[in-house]
Amino acid sequence: MKYEHEMILCIVNNGFSGEVMDAARACGASGGTVLHARGTASPEAETFFKITIQPEKELVMILVPSEIKDDVLHALYQKVGLQTPGQGIAFALPVDGVVGLPSKAREENSKA
């Protein structure tokens, strides 16, 4: 099923939400919402993948048109991916109904 919009969720270390938004905006995203969160990971997984999980996290929700979803995900992987200090993971969820988008963003979506 094809959806008009997708919601990108990006979980990054505390203080990296600005970088997430910069990367997303460069691909055409308009805005986002940042939630504070606490991450957990199994110690075995941490040793196996040689990463340390900083418990303080930020969860960034970005609503984007489906056309730019892949671009945004790629940008997030490059700029705030697991290999960067942001240690971010990002994924997209289908959104089947949206209200409250700014009219400018809606016009751009209808043009696309």
Q: Parallel, antiparallel, or unpaired: how do β-strands 56-65 and 5-13 relate? A: antiparallel
- DSSP assigned state of 83: T
Select the residue interacting with other proteins from 21, 27, 53, 89 (CB under 8 A): 21
If one asks whether residue 35 binds other proteins (CB under 8 A), the answer comes out as yes
Give the HSE-up count for residue 53: Cα atoms under 13 Å, Cβ half-sphere. 18
Q: Give 5 or 79: the residue with its C-beta nearer to other proteins.
A: 5
In the complex, minimum distance from the CB of residue 72 to other proteins, in angstroms, rounded to a whole number = 14
If one asks whether residue 61 binds other proteins (CB under 8 A), the answer comes out as yes
Residue 52 identity: T
In the complex, minimum distance from the CB of residue 112 to other proteins, in angstroms, rounded to a whole number = 18
